[in-house]
Structure 1
């Protein structure tokens, strides 16, 4: 007789299994419909089991946001750009919008959460924006911060517009949103002097 789901867990695995279960549920139903009880039932453990690892629903959602942050980092890293700083920064934007399109519920969970762990998990994405902005700002940290924020807002804004249906539906909408976000980023780069950004 094969082991049941309950029998497959041992100490140290349950926390990760609950996060995986929560990720699946949020992807299917959204954050609002998510419950710890349903996450427990899905992996075949008692509804009291999560409380060994998480104080409440918010704490589990925070852990989910950290995992979502790691997935965002992977999506941004997977997007290939050229060697030029302009190409690398545009690639970050494309990866950001694609992640938002492919993982809408997780993107929303990520956007609505903050914790020190999430800050650490998402740091590589922030560094990707910052690094590209710094390269295009002549090493001026003040100008780079302003420019990097403008580019990040462009990426986030296009993701939000995609979710509102402004680009249509389906894969064509995703491709259009990604292209528009990339074009807007290139326009920002071309007009960076208006933001007080100059290259060295």
Structure 2
């Protein structure tokens, strides 16, 4: 007679507890926003005990900071790919804006946790570093259009603000819900940024 197979205890996750919690939390962010769940709910979603998260995260903010760090890493990858498609700085920034819109549409939970969690970066060094890497990718491009450091930073802020606003409007359905809305908004973001990048203020 074959002995019954022993079941793994719930929550074992083949030693992948940390990633299981992150995946469960990202699902909850997508459903309720970054402030709409507790660590206990994330634990239940991951199938682990409510004490399990504290083996890896000091509190919920620490877990959200890890997700936001992932968000910045994904942005860096997407933006680097976008700006490497051209040698013209205005076109590079236009491609960045389009990539920003697509990131918001394709990774809404990462977008929300990165920008809407209200995390104090001074408490999360890895998160601050990941954000700085994204800025460090884009500022050299802006400096080609606005050589003075303050002017380059201001230019990048205006471009990022335009891309962010259009991304949020898309998420809110302002441009429609059809599949064409994303590509239309990408093109709108690129046009807007070209106008900003090549305008008189770009070189001030």
TM-score calculated relative to the size of structure 2: 0.83
Q: Are the aligned partners of 1:77 and 1:95 in contact in 2 as well (CA < 8 Å)?
A: no
Number of the residue aligned with 2:18: 15
Aligned length: 193
**Which residue does 1:108 correspond to in 2?**
112
Once structures 1 and 2 are overlaid, which stretch shifts more, 109-118 or 42-51?
Answer: 109-118
Correspondent of 1:130 among 135, 139, 153: 139
Give 1:9 deviation, angstroms.
4.1
**For the aligned residues, what is the CA RMSD?**
2.2
Matching residue of 2:11? 6
Question: How far 1:84 sits from its partner (Å)?
Answer: 1.5
Instruction: State the distance in 1 between where 2:64 and 2:12 align.
Output: 25
> 1:180 Cα deviation (Å)?
0.8
Deviation of the 1:132 alpha carbon: 1.3
Q: Is the 8 A contact 1:40 1:50 kept in 2?
A: yes
- Structure with the bigger RCO (C-alpha within 8 Å, sep 6+) is 2
Structure 1 Cα separation of the partners of residues 168 and 18 of structure 2: 31
From 167, 173, 188, the equivalent of 2:175 is 167
**Contact 2:105-2:171 at 8 Å conserved across structures:** yes
**CA apart distance, 1:150:** 1.1
Is the Cα–Cα contact under 8 Å of residues 86 and 186 in structure 1 kept in the other structure? yes
Alignment of 1:25-104 (within 5 A): 25-79=28-82, 81-104=85-108
Structure 1 residue 76, shift from structure 2 partner: 2.1
What are the residue-to-residue correspondences of 1:145-156 with 2, within 5 Å?
145-156=153-164
Could you tell me how far 1:97 is from its partner in structure 2? 1.1
Task: Indicate whether 1:143 and 2:151 are aligned.
Answer: yes
Q: Distance in 2 between matches of 1:76 and 1:6?
A: 36
Q: 1:194 to 1:85 in 2, by over 3 A?
A: closer
8 Å Cα contact 1:101-1:159 kept in structure 2: yes
Shift of the 171–119 alpha-carbon distance from structure 1 to 2, 3 Å rule, reads farther
User: Which region of structure 1 is more displaced relative to structure 2, 34-43 or 173-182?
Assistant: 34-43
Normalized against structure 1, the TM-score is what?
Answer: 0.84
Unaligned ranges ≥5, structure 1: none
